[in-house]
A and B are shown apart, each in its own frame.
Chain A
Amino acid sequence: MEKFTRFSSRVVPLLVDNIDTDQIIPARFLKVTDKQGLGDNLFADWRFNADGTPRPDFVLNMPAHRGAQILLAGDNFGCGSSREHAPWALAGFGFRVVISTSFADIFSNNAMKNSILPLALAAGDHARLAALLGADPRTELTVDLPSQALLVPGGAAMRFPIDGFAKTCLLNGVDELGYLFRFTEEIEAFERTTSRS
């Protein structure tokens, strides 16, 4: 897994509340047996016309946002299905951070397992950031995971919470499976003492 520490990028604002995983990656694109290519269909039904041409009025298609690695979304991002194809599609497109005020539990877990930071801001900070980007869409933000701060030009750093264990995993680029395997003896003992096999 890729290490996540500190980086700077412009932002794509998609200020819709309750963006569900069916919008992030529609179900018809889940008929895959690997993780490749899902970024091509990220937000497919919002991004493309029926004939497959890009919709110029959709933020992801606007030249000003090309190459941005931060997505600024509305409240409760990632609700709905448990499909990990959602963070695979976001990562495939090039996103490394999604900013919201809250995230659906399963999406949040899935995102961090793919080096995507679900960055939850307080509602006031979220609104200030949205206003700032409204005024200057080319604003560049710096995400500093060690200090859990979002650095905004000309303003005070915005703090964000993150689970300490998940933070360590992201900073070191380690996945949880290695950690779980450290407890093989405990798992065996648990199975023995509770008569599970």
Chain B
Amino acid sequence: MNAPKPKTLFEKVWESHVVHQEPEAPAVLYIDLHLVHEVTSPQAFAGLRSRGLTVRRPGRTVATVDHSIPTGDPSLPLTDPLASKQIAQMEENARWGGIRFFGMSSAGRGIVHVIGPELGLTHPGMTVVCGDSHTSTHGAFGALAFGIGTSEVEHVLATQCLLQRRPGVFEIRIEGKRGPGVTAKDIVLALLARIGVGGGTGHVFEYTGPAVGALSMEERMTICNMSIEGGARAGMMAPDDTTFEYIAGREFSPRGEEWDRAVAGWRALPTDDGAVFDRSLTLDISDLSPMITFGTNPGMGLAVGGPVPRPEDVKDPSQRSALRKALEYMNLTPGEPLLGRPVNVVFIGSCTNGRLSDLRLAASVLRGRKVDPAVRVLVVPGSQAVKRQAEAEGLDRVFTSAGAEWREAGCSMCIAMNGDQLSPGQYAVSTSNRNFEGRQGKGGRTFLASPLTAAASAVTGKITDVRTLS
């Protein structure tokens, strides 16, 4: 008798969720957890209503408001009528659909990809979707988690299923031991600098190797979060004891016998020895420096001490013109270092780097220091729970004593829909995930970096290598 074929983590999760597969057609894939927010769902609910449909599995659907909400004084009324309408509509749609809703006044609200794990909703082996590309975050738990469009939001609301073509699996093997000042953000920025923003198209990343097992859950989430910036809809990591310890005892985590059964199942999920990936790449992080982006997509990154690349050194004509266009937008001189360049704003937050450990990193730099008075520094916790935990540790006082703003939870300046935004021409060091033109406000210019680099740059008012901060 033949031994069973070795399988990847992805294959195991995929195959256990295929409801039906017709020849030549995409698979009907069952969705375990559907996260919903105010910006990409109104048209889906309208579609359901116009077709006379209802939410098939409200218990598998969880909604919150995060993208367009203000992060300022919570006692003030909403001033943006468009945002108010979206928020009110989300509340109304959740009520209509019988969906659990973490609204403006809820203690459980926060960025959808922060609260899913935090509430214990995200488990290994699940399929998780949301009308948001950073759904890839949840793959840190060994879930298959990916962003979908609004039509697909409607499909999942109506049927709890999606039609999906099976993607390839791209192994990203991470080896070596990182040095001081190097964080999970630097690892993923280094990966993106290597493969570019389209390198993972058509694939799901599986991060493997000893360096992955050594990461905390929050670090794993930072890396999986930015898988989409490499073109991969999902990034996955094998669940292990670190994963189980994180999940245990959370609000929606299994308990008692159910917990034991769940963990036994989760232990069978990691990729089998001998399983085959469609593609593989190894990233050695031993010599990695803190990374920062210089351009207008997340793949345009370099070691923080390095020079801005010169277009004339790029052979491919379309890449050369893309680089030229990016440097023009950023108003940077080829060949010059980024270090020492003045910045106007520092943003610490987002679903990439808005968790407690990220705030601790930033606070470790800001404790006993002052931010440069010329720089506006926003610290925006990823959720209200993160905010409370940070306040219990006194991190809020570290930030405010240093001269930074300590705000309410939300997506905030990562997507700049809520009034937290750059002015035209301003430069920001940001711990978020995208540096596209205008992403943080029309005409704004973004340098993506880690919470350590962001905090160090806040202190000096210039792009700074945290390892050299005196």
Contact check, B24 vs A18: say whether CB atoms are below 8 A apart: no
What chain A residues lie within 8 Å of B416 (beta carbons)? 27-28
Give the interface size class of chain A: 35 or more
Q: Which of B67, B135, B318 lies in contact with A17, CB distance below 8 A?
A: B318
What chain B residues lie within 8 Å of A26 (beta carbons)? 438, 442
- What are the interface flags for B103-144 relative to A under an 8 Å C-beta threshold, 1 for contact and 0 otherwise? 000000000000000000000000000011101000000000
What chain B residues lie within 8 Å of A22 (beta carbons)? 434, 436-439
Is B325's beta carbon under 8 Å from chain A? yes
Is A113's beta carbon under 8 Å from chain B? yes
Q: Which of A31, A50, A165 lies in contact with B39, CB distance below 8 A?
A: A31
Residue of A nearest to B433 (CB): A80
The complex places the Cα of A80 from the Cα of B227 at a distance, in Å, of 11
Contact check, B297 vs A20: say whether CB atoms are below 8 A apart: yes
Given A17-B319, A18-B322, A164-B24, are A35 and B163 also a contact pair (CB < 8 Å)? no
Given A31-B80, A76-B201, A177-B155, are A84 and B150 also a contact pair (CB < 8 Å)? yes
Contact check, A34 vs B417: say whether CB atoms are below 8 A apart: no
Is B46's beta carbon under 8 Å from chain A? yes
A-B CB contacts (within 8 Å), total count: 178
The complex places the Cα of A60 from the Cα of B127 at a distance, in Å, of 40
- What are the interface flags for B40-73 relative to A under an 8 Å C-beta threshold, 1 for contact and 0 otherwise? 1011001000010000010100000001100000
Residues in B71-94 with C-beta less than 8 Å from chain A: 80, 82-83, 85-86, 89
Binding-face segment, B4-12, B25-33, B249-257: B25-33
Given A16-B325, A180-B155, are A82 and B197 also a contact pair (CB < 8 Å)? no
Residue of B nearest to A83 (CB): B40
What chain B residues lie within 8 Å of A113 (beta carbons)? 149, 151-152
- What are the interface flags for A80-114 relative to B under an 8 Å C-beta threshold, 1 for contact and 0 otherwise? 11111001000000000000001111100110011
Given A22-B438, A27-B439, are A32 and B24 also a contact pair (CB < 8 Å)? no
Could you say which of B51, B163, B424 has the most chain A C-beta atoms within 10 Å of its C-beta? B163
Contact check, B417 vs A27: say whether CB atoms are below 8 A apart: yes
Is A187's beta carbon under 8 Å from chain B? yes
What chain A residues lie within 8 Å of B82 (beta carbons)? 31-32
The complex places the Cα of A87 from the Cα of B85 at a distance, in Å, of 23
Is B198's beta carbon under 8 Å from chain A? yes
Give the interface size class of chain B: 35 or more
- Give A67 Cβ to nearest chain B Cβ, in Å: 27
Is B154's beta carbon under 8 Å from chain A? yes
Residue of A nearest to B56 (CB): A187
Is B267's beta carbon under 8 Å from chain A? no
Residues in B187-212 with C-beta less than 8 Å from chain A: 197-198, 201-202
What chain A residues lie within 8 Å of B26 (beta carbons)? 163, 165
Is A190's beta carbon under 8 Å from chain B? yes
Contact check, A187 vs B19: say whether CB atoms are below 8 A apart: yes
Is B165's beta carbon under 8 Å from chain A? yes
What chain B residues lie within 8 Å of A163 (beta carbons)? 26, 165
Given A80-B436, A82-B147, are A30 and B39 also a contact pair (CB < 8 Å)? yes
- Give A100 Cβ to nearest chain B Cβ, in Å: 10
Contact check, A190 vs B30: say whether CB atoms are below 8 A apart: yes
Contact check, B231 vs A28: say whether CB atoms are below 8 A apart: no
Residue of A nearest to B93 (CB): A33
Contact check, A180 vs B297: say whether CB atoms are below 8 A apart: no
Given A16-B325, A76-B231, are A31 and B438 also a contact pair (CB < 8 Å)? no
What chain B residues lie within 8 Å of A187 (beta carbons)? 19, 28, 30, 159-161
Contact check, B19 vs A183: say whether CB atoms are below 8 A apart: yes
Is A133's beta carbon under 8 Å from chain B? no
Residue of B nearest to A189 (CB): B19
Given A102-B198, A180-B158, are A79 and B297 also a contact pair (CB < 8 Å)? yes
What chain B residues lie within 8 Å of A144 (beta carbons)? none
The complex places the Cα of A45 from the Cα of B439 at a distance, in Å, of 11
Could you say which of B82, B146, B158 has the most chain A C-beta atoms within 10 Å of its C-beta? B82
Given A28-B416, A106-B233, A163-B165, are A181 and B201 also a contact pair (CB < 8 Å)? no
Given A28-B416, A34-B42, A84-B149, are A177 and B322 also a contact pair (CB < 8 Å)? no
What chain A residues lie within 8 Å of B20 (beta carbons)? 183, 186
Contact check, A82 vs B133: say whether CB atoms are below 8 A apart: yes
- What are the interface flags for A15-54 relative to B under an 8 Å C-beta threshold, 1 for contact and 0 otherwise? 1111010110011101111110000000001000010000
Contact check, A183 vs B28: say whether CB atoms are below 8 A apart: yes
Residue of A nearest to B83 (CB): A31
- Which residues does A use to contact B, with CB under 8 Å? 15-18, 20, 22-23, 26-28, 30-35, 45, 50, 74-76, 79-84, 87, 102-106, 109-110, 113-114, 163-165, 175-177, 179-181, 183-184, 186-187, 190-191, 194, 196-197
| 5 additional A-B residue pairs with CB within 8 Å, beyond A22-B439, A31-B86, A196-B30 | A17-B319, A27-B415, A50-B424, A81-B147, A106-B149
